[in-house]
Amino acid sequence: MPDSNNKVVDVHHHVISPNLAKAIAGCVPIPDILKRERLVTEEEQLEAAERNGIDTLWFSFRTIKYYVREKELSAYSPHSLTVARTVNDYSASMCQRYPGRFMAFADVSLAHGEAAIKEMVRALKDLGLHGILLQTNYDGKPLDAPEFRPFFEEANRLRVAIHLHPIAPLGADTVLRDYSMGMILGFPSDTTLSMVRLAYSGMLEQYPDLTFILSHAGGLIPFIWWRINMPYSGDRPGTRDNIKAPPTDYLKRCYYDTALSDTESLMLTHKRVGDHLMFGTDNPYGPKDGVEHTFKTVNGMDIPDETKAKIMSGNALALANRSQS
């Protein structure tokens, strides 16, 4: 694993290689899986990272819902668990083959209860992966659903880094379908909804060692900060039942990646959460100049050099080491 001296770790990189596509297609009976994607070899990914000044790609599978239609594979399908195991074995092989160049978030099929817990433990302890990836809802169920609490209890015990990646919220097939509204508003709003629910439900208080890395600077969270606290401050029914402090006190503990943001929005995020930012590009799903844009955006922030060093790699390496301890 690289040190943090002048290093850059991209915590939001999605690996889509021919090798991974072949492995998934071999274990899931869906003939067109991944065919919509432009596949890029591992070597091509590393060459591009080197050209762009990125030392380490902390990659994640973009969750199976992006690659197949919902009717073909729901979060509760047994195939989603099979895909998770296949992805994690692949991810471990890549980290071993290119030590220090690849790190990996394990794919975890949260909807599968005890099996999901076992796969998380296997991925972290046996395979040596560096964290886990979760999505913002599972077939419409929020992360604070009672059935998911045993998983988060174990994740809290393991002190694992959790990269939270948005998926389309309810309504994606209707009002969010046109004008790329799913990307513009659906993803940020689902990240926000998921995390504010976790705060108000008391899960972030009950499990203080849960560490979330929120995609895309936390969606809308930095921008509606005061509004998030408004029900708590007004003592509205149910808003103080599970927590002892304003919800944003818990959201300050999260980390916020820089993907698909601009300097002004990151400065506001920094104002809200201090140095809890992490360099992430969302490559290859952002604009063609997305990596260059992310560097320009972070370098344009009026913050101390030591804070930028934490954003570029320090925070990522500290969380990865903690997840493997």
* Contact yes or no for 255/311 (Cβ under 8 A): no
Query: Cα 236–241–242 angle (5° rounding)?
Result: 125
Average pLDDT, the chain: 90
Alpha-carbon distance of 48 to 29, in angstroms, equals 32
* 225 vs 17, more confident: 225
Confidence (pLDDT) at 105 = 97
Query: Backbone phi, then psi, for 314, in 5-degree steps?
Result: -60, -45
Q: What is the pTM of this model?
A: 0.93
Which tens digits make up the pLDDT trace of 60-88?
Answer: 986 655 555 545 567 888 888 898 999 99
Confidence (pLDDT) at 2 = 46
Specify the CATH architecture of the domain 9-324: Alpha-Beta Barrel (3.20)
* Contact yes or no for 106/120 (Cβ under 8 A): yes
Alpha-carbon distance of 120 to 111, in angstroms, equals 13
Alpha-carbon distance of 102 to 90, in angstroms, equals 12
Alpha-carbon distance of 279 to 81, in angstroms, equals 29
* 2 vs 107, more confident: 107
Q: What is the DSSP letter of 17?
A: -
Confidence (pLDDT) at 88 = 96
Half-sphere exposure of 243 (CA within 13 A, CB side): 29
* Contact yes or no for 102/126 (Cβ under 8 A): no
Which tens digits make up the pLDDT trace of 229-281?
Answer: 999 999 999 999 999 999 999 999 999 999 999 999 999 999 999 999 999 99
Helix (H, G, I), strand (E, B) or coil at 246: coil
Taking alpha carbons only, the member of 75, 65, 76 closest to residue 33 is 65
Which tens digits make up the pLDDT trace of 225-243?
Answer: 999 999 999 999 999 999 9
Taking alpha carbons only, the member of 7, 3, 49 closest to residue 312 is 7
Instruction: Report domain extents, the chain.
Output: 9-324
Alpha-carbon distance of 120 to 117, in angstroms, equals 5
In this prediction, residue 323 has a pLDDT band, given cuts at 50, 70 and 90, of: confident
